[in-house]
Structures are given as C-alpha cells and as structure tokens.
Structure 1
Amino acid sequence: MKLRKVTAASAAVLALAVAATACGSSKSDGGSSGGGNKIKIGIKYDQPGIGLKEPNGSFSGFDVDVATYVAGKLGYKPSQIEWVETKSADRENALARGDVKFIAASYSITDERKQKVDFAGPYLLAHQDLLVKANSTISKGTDLNGRNLCSVTGSTSAQNVQKKIAPKANLKENSGYSECIASLQSGAVDAVTTDDSILAGYAAQDKYKGQFKLAGLKLSNENYGIGVKKGDSATLKKINDALASMVSDGTWKTDVEKNFGPANYKYEPAPKIGVIVK
C-alpha cells in the first residue's frame, strides 16, 4: 500500500509539472505558426481609413485589414492578434527590439529605412499631398513659404516639402496626425502634409466633413510596405506571398474601396511585389 501511495503522489506531481509546462509555452511575440500563440503587429492608432483605434476598443482601417489577412496566412486567427501602437519615430526600434513581429503602419519604403529593416510589398502606392482648410488659397507647394506646416515627428513628409518646394515653410511637428489636424482646424497651422490616403481619411470623418480639402499635389510616391526585423527572410517571404494572394483573390480591392471609398479617394492599382515606384 505504501508503494502505491508514493506512486500516486509522483503521478500527481508529474501531471502538475506537465500542466505548468503547457501553460508556460504560450507565446505572445508572434512565431511563424499559429496554434495557441499570439502575434504582435504594429499599426497606427490615429489614422482614419489606415489604422484607427475606435472608441469601443476595436481597430479599423486598410492597414488593419491587410495585417489581419497576412496574419491569417501565417496561421493566426483575428482573436490571436495583439495590436501594438507604433508611432512613426519608433517603428525601426520596435522591430529591432522584437516588440512586434511585423509593422503595417503607413510605412513608406525608403533607402534609409531599408538599412535598418526589411520590407515586404509594397501593397499600396500613395502620394504626398497637403490638407488645407476648405477656403484656403493654398494651391501649390510654394504657397507655403512663410506659413506654418504641420507633420509628425519622424516622418519624411515635411522635410520633403522644405527641401523641394517651400524652404521657408515653418515646420511644426507633433507626435500624431490627430494633433496636426486639430492645429489645422484651430488655425495654428496653415497646412498638414503627409500621404493623400491618410489625409483623405481625416477629411472624410463626420466631425471634419466640409472643413478641409486636399490640395491635389502629388509631391512624392509613397510605397507602403510591411516592415519586418532585418534579416528575417522567412517571415518576409511568407508576407510577400500573402500580399500577392490578397491581390489575386480580390480581397485587396474590396478592402481599399471599403476604407477609402467614402472619401472619394482615387487609389492607384495594386503595386507589384518588389517594384518600387520612384
């Protein structure tokens, strides 16, 4: 009887150890397979039509839809996605630290950024533009000389305007686009510059309808890519395959029209994987 009691106790200890191991094996960093794991994906929280955290805690926008589709191809259900806010100035660091598996956050592919991260895509071609008040007389970039221009810290948009067309524009930088739009509404700045897709999303919001307009300038080509940690070639290939599938099965077009259609945004055709429009 004594031997049987020891054996039973040992079995109980073993069962508890197995259970503890199973609980401890759950990952939250986004491995390459699904199962019971979580995947962390970087997005923007303040860009209507692109990446927006809604008041009820849900997320919407084209980047959110693209990331959800890609995650599905990697083996993750929507419930397994953990969305992480990645602001423009912190995107490269977030990938280097391993905070997220990949980033889909209106992330334009540039030679400088490619030194620090690898990019899948592109999956959208946008153009830099200006958002101004509906009654503004600003119709071209040079009209910004001596006026206040707002953009987000870490973005290349404002520097592009100053370098190419309006060197005397007064640059005002904020941590997010929402702050820039609020400054435009109050008159603290005369224009906000970033990608037309982002600006169109703001202009289409109910609280801003009729207040703003796009200047209609194609100041640059912005090739949106999905950022992954430098050297992670396996994830890069899987994401590129997922993006190609999204275009071929019609999901890409459906999601573009769903997110940008209300703003009458004239989007470009889906770009080819690996082809950067200069």
Structure 2
Amino acid sequence: MKHTPFGILATTCAAALALSACGAGTSGGGQPGGGASGGGDALRVGIKFDQPGMGLKKGEEYSGFDVDVARYVAKELGKTPQFSEAPSPQRETLLKTGQLDMIVATYSITDKRKNEVGFAGPYFIAGQDLLVRTDENAIKGPDTLTGKKLCSVKGSTPAQKVKDEHPDVQLQEYDTYSKCVEELVNGTVDALTTDDTILAGYASQEQYSGKLKVVGNTFSEEKYGIGLPKDNADMCQKVTDALKKMIDSGEWQKIVDANFGQAGFKPGPGNPPTPAACG
C-alpha cells in the first residue's frame, strides 16, 4: 500500500481546517479544540441522541429541552456547542477523562455522582410519571394500575419501583421507550412510566399528537443538573450564573413551551428551580 508523505497530509489538513479538523469527530458548529477553559470557541457538550423533547439527533439536527439549555449556556460563556452522545453509563467517564466539557442529558444530581464529577443546577426538577392514551381516565397514578399492563425499559428503576410497591401491576418490558410508546398507542399496554420530561417529549411528537397524555401526578423527584469536571469552581460558577439568568429572564419558560407545549405538559412542583451555589 502506497503511503502518503507526511508533509502532503499536513498541508491537506491545514487547507481543510476551515471546514473541519482532520480526524475530528465533533459536530454542532464552531471550530474544534479549545474546550471550556481553552482559547478556542468550542464547548464540547454531551447530550442524549434518542430522547424526543429532551435530546434528539435527527440527521445533522439536534433538538430538545436539554439541547436548548446547552445552547443558551454556551452562548452566555461565549462558546459554540459541539454535541456528542453521552450514554448514561458513560457520563462520569466522559467528564473525568476530559473528553467532554459538560453534559446536559437528563443527568440527575446525586451524592454518589458528586463524588466523581461536578454539577451546576438544578435547571429542572423532573418526577416519575405515567403516559397513557388520551381517552384513558381511570389511570391517575401508580395506585390505580392494579390489573393494568405497565411498560418500561428492561431493568429500569422506574418500572421496578412501581412493581415493588404495586405487585398487582403487570409489567411489560422492552429494550427502548420508543417500543413502549408504539405498544401504548396500539393498545397492547395501558401505561408507560419514566421521567415526566421524557414522557412529555414522546407525547409532543407529531405522530402522537392528540393520542397520548402525561397523567401529571409525579411520585419521585429527579434534579437535573449540568455535569462538569470535578473541582472546577470557576467553570461551575459561570454555568450557574448562566442558568440563573436563563430562569430569571423567562427564557427557561420559553424553552419549556417550545419543547413540550404540544403535549400540554406543565412542569411539576419546584419548577422553575433555583440553581444552588457552587462549592
């Protein structure tokens, strides 16, 4: 195999730098490099790619509440967000190894996680809820699920919590929430459970317009925060200030309406939250 001389490769890469970095796997706009504390204008942000209403990648487009929050914060920091997928099991590692500058991905603030990474926020307080068909009036909460078929993702904490506390519930598990939603619309199951934000995102999708609704009776509390590398007080304070401005200016409510309005979703108790002081 004939090898390309290093000098030619370097020249080619330099010429293409205006469009992208050679070998870089970033997306979302802005020049690669620099990071949150570097000299460049890029902010490497981890989001979910598969949660309608929260973090969704479709082609080269990104949408959702978390995406809009990330864009707002990045703008306040004078940065351009570059989005990458941040799967739940990998979030701490992505921050600890310096692969990402921040994560905005339905990332609940917990004491265990705070031992490994930093958090700014909360910027939203979610709660476990139920998604049902719009003509369903009997299901008003977990205590009304007796004899009903409840759907969730295999091994998920939300589904197991309901099953443990309400053993008469028939639990149906699938690999994805999208499959649960399909079965709910088809009438195979009676309800789907997970965080209310995720449920509202599905109900807001055009193909489910008028077919699904969130019950609106949360029975847990999840404080979503922006994940950051641990012990970076300066960065944490800047992000916290941006979140406070987003909430106080009314921009937070606009973002909620834009992403969940079609589902008629109203954030539960504690919203909008007051971001805690860093440190």
- TM class, shorter-length: 0.7 to 0.9
Q: How many residues align?
A: 250
2:38 and 2:140 mapped to 1: Cα distance?
50
Q: Secondary structure at the match of 1:66?
A: helix
1:1-278 map, 5 Å: 28=33, 30-33=35-38, 35=40, 37-54=41-58, 56-77=59-80, 81-136=81-136, 137-144=138-145, 148-152=149-153, 156-166=157-167, 169-170=170-171, 172=173, 174=175, 176-187=176-187, 189-268=189-268, 269-274=271-276
Shift of 1:253: 2.3
Alpha-carbon displacement from aligned partner over 1:45-79 (angstroms, at most 9, x marks no partner): 2222221223x4211121111101111222213xx
SS in 1 for 2:74: helix
CA shift for structure 1 position 142: 3.5
Structure 1 residue 104: Cα displacement: 0.8
* Matching residue of 1:5: none
Indicate the residue corresponding to 1:9 in structure 2: none
Distance 1:264 1:84 in 2: 29
Structure with max Cα Rg:
1
Distance 1:210 1:252, change over 3 A: closer
Letter of the 2:162 partner, please give it: V
Match of 1:3 in 2: none
Q: Tell whether the 8 Å contact from 2:129 to 2:218 is kept in structure 1 after alignment.
A: yes
Offset at residue 154 of structure 1 (A): 7.6
Runs of 5+ consecutive residues of structure 1 not aligned to the other structure: 1-15
2:5 alignment partner in structure 1? none
Q: TM-score, normalised by structure 2?
A: 0.75
Unaligned ranges ≥5, structure 2: 1-10, 23-30
Q: CA 1:134–1:228 in structure 2 vs 1: closer, same or farther (change >3 Å)?
A: same
Give, in whole Å, the separation in 1 of the partners of 2:261 and 2:217. 20
More helix by share: 1
Residue 223 of structure 1: SS of its match in structure 2?
A: strand
Distance in 2, Cα, partners of 1:94 & 1:173: 27
Could you tell me whether the CA contact under 8 Å between 2:130 and 2:215 is conserved in 1?
yes
C-alpha distance in 1, partners of 2:160/2:228? Answer: 25
Identity of aligned residues (%): 45
